[in-house]
């Protein structure tokens, strides 16, 4: 028997026994590897839908709610919940209930808490106008819906504190309307009948305004404030401008079904003192008499409205040559005119083949200051055309044209957009306050006040508390102090030795600008084909130059001018009443006097 191949047997070498330190190290490594593996498994578990962070969903939903981002809230709903309510209805319902509660702000009041695997409780805080601060818990049910997880939304979740089947409701009670007073603390309107003190019974109707049923355009605003539909509210004048303060604070009960969530008592507002000076109002009423027009006086520094009469806030008319204040401002800004500029003495200017005459066909021109003092159309119409529509409109908008109402309920002064004005004739006509330019006495008083306060436009107020809290009212910079100072100097020339001499006051520097706006001719005159292209056309041919009903009389002014701090700015409009110098300037003088003498 042949011997087989030799077999080699390798016996394992004996290993050294690990030390205690080595044993502990190996054990820690094993535990760490196990933890990593478990985390990986957990991560995969979350990724594939089994471990969705429901608290994170609740936090996102609550954060979106606090922002009023209903679209983001809706995106967190389950598909089944989304089938029950459309995004539009979801949004509408939240807004409806927030308005019912007179909500002002909603926020998250703390950290969400897990009640169970599917329920997350979120504390919500709602600040309301009527019912104060509400703190309620909202329980969100977060469930799996196919491959996604979201909020199983129900209708009661649209407002914090509602239970299943409950509707949010409120009852509201208004306090008596507050007393309305003048700046010197005399009662202008009191009680349900809005009765004035006998000492101001003659002028109170001019400024107080009317109270009655709210117009449809105020429905949403009043609903947000919690004011019932049948509540008498301010419709005009001071009653409208100070309506929110005069209404006071409503009281009432907020309910969830039969449960009371909150309850408050109505609170009458304390008497509201307006900025109105009876003496200034009396001067405005007396000056206007029984003529159609508007008169207003302002404090250029505080923005306080001192008094008004007639259609001062609502009467839109072409401002005539008072608009030359704006044209002069733009020309000085752009450097196309300056104090050293001079112009030919002429009776008219021709733009686009059309003759624009000076008032009564007078010869006019000379220095820029003199041309302004005498209100030369032959200078300022071409100057406006040179300035151009774009820059002219820009200046007008800075002064307040085409902007928000200067006061609640006030009509907005307008000028067409630059591209809509037209050719040089239309721009030149706009530059002298004709064409399609429209303004109120209030707007032209603001123009005067802006020049008075070195180119800064004040924010107007009829609330004495506001005027006194901010002695220097929030301002809008319209032009530079240097330009405003030059315009003021020229306006002083109008009163000292120009068309506005009837506004002069002894011992007081008055700066002003007259305006005589043509009406019938402005509205109907145009070049007809029969006259031929390039043939001079006289707009005065449309109406008799002696017909005072063809013109509105305007005056815009302030005092004191010069180095003293301005205290009063006025705007005067008398419809179809002749020239600004003859008719409007004397009214302005007496209103300025009353404003300077006020307490």
pLDDT along the chain (599 residues), means of 10: 36 45 47 40 39 88 96 96 96 96 94 93 95 94 87 96 94 96 97 96 94 92 86 94 94 95 95 97 96 97 95 96 98 96 94 88 93 96 97 98 94 97 96 96 98 95 89 76 97 96 97 89 37 32 50 97 93 95 97 92
pLDDT at residue number 278:
97
Q: What is the H or E stretch that residue 561 is in? A: none
For residue 593 the two structure tokens come to 């006097």
Order of all β-strands in the sheet with 251-256:
168-173, 251-256, 259-264
Beta carbons of 281 and 598 less than 8 angstroms apart:
no
SS3 510: coil
Sign of the alpha-carbon dihedral angle for 535, 537, 541, 542: positive
pLDDT at residue number 229:
87
pLDDT at residue number 470:
63
| Strands 119-128 and 103-108, sheet pairing | antiparallel
Beta carbons of 250 and 132 less than 8 angstroms apart:
no
Q: At what angle do helices 324-334 and 481-497 cross, to 10 degrees?
A: 140
Q: What is the H or E stretch that residue 594 is in? A: helix 585-597
Domains of the chain: 54-166 (3.10.450.100), 173-273 (3.90.1310.10), 278-597 (3.40.710.10)
For residue 551 the two structure tokens come to 């013109």
DSSP 181-246: E-TTS-EEE-TTTTPPPGGGTTTHHHHS--EESPPGGGHHHHHHHT--TT--EE-SHHHHHTHHHH
pTM of the full structure: 0.77
H runs (alpha helix) in 438-558: 441-452, 464-469, 481-497, 520-524
């Amino acid at each position: 028997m042949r011997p087989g191949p030799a077999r080699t047997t390798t016996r394992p070498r004996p290993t050294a026994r690990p030390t205690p330190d080595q044993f502990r190290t190996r054990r820690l490594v094993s535990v760490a590897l196990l933890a990593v593996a478990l985390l990986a498994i957990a991560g995969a578990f979350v990724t594939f839908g089994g471990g969705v962070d429901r608290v994170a969903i609740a936090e996102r939903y609550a954060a979106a709610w606090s922002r009023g981002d209903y679209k983001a809230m809706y995106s967190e709903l389950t598909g089944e919940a989304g089938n029950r309510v459309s995004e539009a209805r979801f949004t509408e319902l939240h807004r409806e209930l927030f308005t019912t509660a007179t909500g002002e702000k909603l926020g998250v009041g703390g950290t969400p808490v897990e009640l169970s695997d599917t329920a997350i409780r979120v504390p919500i805080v709602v600040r309301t106008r009527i019912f104060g601060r509400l703190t309620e818990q909202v329980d969100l049910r977060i469930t799996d819906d196919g491959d996604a997880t979201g909020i199983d939304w129900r209708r009661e979740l649209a407002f914090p504190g509602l239970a299943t089947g409950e509707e949010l409701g409120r009852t509201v009670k208004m306090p008596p309307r507050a007393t309305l007073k003048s700046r010197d603390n005399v009662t202008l309107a009191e009680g349900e009948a809005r009765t004035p003190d006998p000492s101001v019974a003659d002028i109170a109707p001019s400024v107080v305004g009317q109270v009655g049923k709210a117009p449809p355009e105020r429905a949403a605003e009043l609903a947000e404030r919690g004011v019932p539909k049948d509540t008498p509210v301010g419709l005009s004048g001071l009653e409208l401008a100070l309506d929110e303060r005069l209404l006071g604070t409503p009281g009432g009960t907020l309910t969830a079904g039969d449960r009371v969530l909150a309850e408050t008592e109505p609170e009458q507002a304390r008497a509201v003192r307006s900025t109105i000076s009876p003496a200034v109002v009396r001067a405005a009423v007396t000056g206007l008499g029984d003529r159609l027009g508007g008169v207003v006086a302002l404090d250029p520094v505080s923005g306080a409205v001192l008094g008004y009469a007639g259609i001062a806030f609502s009467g839109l008319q072409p401002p005539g040559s008072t608009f030359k204040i704006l044209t002069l401002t733009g020309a000085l800004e752009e450097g196309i005119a300056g104090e050293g500029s001079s112009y030919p003495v002429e009776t008219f200017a021709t733009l686009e083949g059309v003759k624009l005459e000076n008032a009564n066909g007078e010869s006019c021109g000379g220095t820029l200051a003199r041309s302004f003092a005498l209100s030369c159309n032959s200078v300022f119409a071409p100057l406006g055309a040179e300035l151009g529509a774009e820059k002219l409109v820009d200046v007008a908008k800075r002064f307040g044209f085409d902007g928000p109402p200067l006061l609640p309920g006030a009509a907005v002064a307008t000028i067409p957009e630059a591209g809509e004005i037209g050719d040089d004739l239309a721009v030149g006509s706009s530059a002298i306050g004709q064409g399609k330019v429209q303004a109120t006495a209030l707007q032209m008083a603001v123009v005067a006040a802006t020049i008075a306060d070195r180119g800064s436009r004040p924010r107007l107020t009829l609330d004495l508390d506001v005027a006194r809290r901010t002695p220097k009212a929030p301002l809008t910079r319209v032009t530079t102090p240097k330009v405003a100072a030059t315009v003021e100097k020229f306006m002083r020339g109008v009163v000292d030795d120009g068309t506005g001499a009837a506004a002069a006051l002894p011992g007081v520097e008055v700066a002003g600008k007259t305006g005589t706006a043509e009406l019938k001719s402005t509205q109907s005159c145009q070049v007809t084909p029969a006259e031929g292209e390039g043939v001079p056309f006289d707009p005065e041919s449309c109406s008799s130059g002696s017909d005072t009903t063809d013109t509105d009389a305007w005056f815009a002014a302030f005092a004191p001018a010069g180095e003293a701090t301005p205290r009063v700015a006025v705007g005067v409009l008398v419809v179809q009443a002749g020239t600004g110098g003859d008719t409007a300037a004397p009214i302005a003088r007496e209103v300025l006097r009353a404003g300077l003498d006020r307490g």
